Amino acid sequence: MKKLAILSILYLLLTHQAQSQGCVAIRSTGGFCTRDQAANHDSTKWMLSVSNRYFKSFRHFVGTEEQKQRLEQGTEVINHSYTLDLTLFRNLKNGWSIGLDVPVISNARSSLYEHGGNGAKNARHSTHSFGIGDIRIAVYKWLIDQSTMPKGNIQVGLGLKLPTGDYRYQDFFIKNDTTKVLGPVDQSIQLGDGGTGFTTEINAFYNFNEHFGVYGNFFYLINPREQNGVSTARGGTTVSADAINYGTSVMSVPDQMMVRAGASVTFDKFTFSAGVRDECQPSKDLIGGSSGFRRPGYIISIEPGVNYQFKKATVYAYVPFAVKRNRTQSNADKLKTEATGVHAQGDAAFADYLVNIGCSFKF
């Protein structure tokens, strides 16, 4: 039972969907990852995971430097992001399994510049989005026969991400007391990215004994589509000249990546864990072009967690704390730097921490 608890922590650690903390808009399409069925493979077993994730982003960064004046001046952008992930797994034969993830998303974005403008009186207003996100289905295979190496295993996965989330979601932008304009909300709170993508995963674990184990997870989403055609005017009638000149008048469909590693300790039905989590939205994609508006960057977090194991269910709570946030140069920033000879680099808002609370059931 303790061994199963250790493996359950690996599943729960790695099943959290990749989503960064703020405007660096990594979607909820991350790894399903290592599960406790590895130790007790049963082709009749199903597993349902229900996870809740929330964060508030408000700290602006250019590169690794925080723009503290935004908070002092009251011009910061504040994103509230909540996701309910419903993930269903089915064990097949010979180490194969399949998973289906359906995210339900509710976002709110508060700002001045998108509405009345920075410096204007009573200019701060909010836009919202709600609905189903991008659904993903993936197939997995354990590479090692559990009977020959019961303490550890490696799993590979290949998935398909479908553009089911509304990537053209619109809300009203309040320009003044008498004028409001309907337009696409900011990329960071859109429900999807508009691309059909392919996911690749490598998940691994090793248990030294019944109390102590380690894990690792790599996830990469390949989005071949370059742009989704949605305007970045955010309620404006026109976009800026820079947006036209450097290709950011419409939204990009970016790749995304997540790497995680850590260790867990089990005592009776409790499992405590600590790990490092690195989430990244690159400035250039592996396949296809990289033009369009995006906020590339990465977040490195320390991720503590706790689980409690029931007979056929596990409840958990994880709170990754950001220790490094970097809003890197986008493709458009690099083009502008080359054209003008002046270094250009946009900003993005990040959260201090991310809250994950959920449970999984075997049936």
* Number of domains observed in the structure of the chain: 1
pLDDT of residue 22: 55
Residue 73: what are its φ and ψ, rounded to 5°?
-85, -10
Question: What are the pLDDT digits (tens) for 239-261?
Answer: 788 888 899 999 999 999 999 99
63 within 8 A of 326, measured Cβ to Cβ: yes
Question: What are the pLDDT digits (tens) for 66-91?
Answer: 999 999 999 999 999 999 999 999 98
Reduce the DSSP state of residue 339 to 3 states and report it. helix
Nearest-angstrom CA–CA distance, 351 and 68: 14
pLDDT of residue 23: 57
Q: Where are the alpha helices (DSSP H) in 184-302?
A: 241-245
CATH of the domain at 35: 2.40.160.40
DSSP 263-277: EEEEETTEEEEEEEE
Q: What percent of the chain has a predicted confidence (pLDDT) above 90?
A: 73
Note down the domain range covering 219: 2-362
Residue 11, token pair as written in the block: 């599943």
pTM to 2 decimal places: 0.89
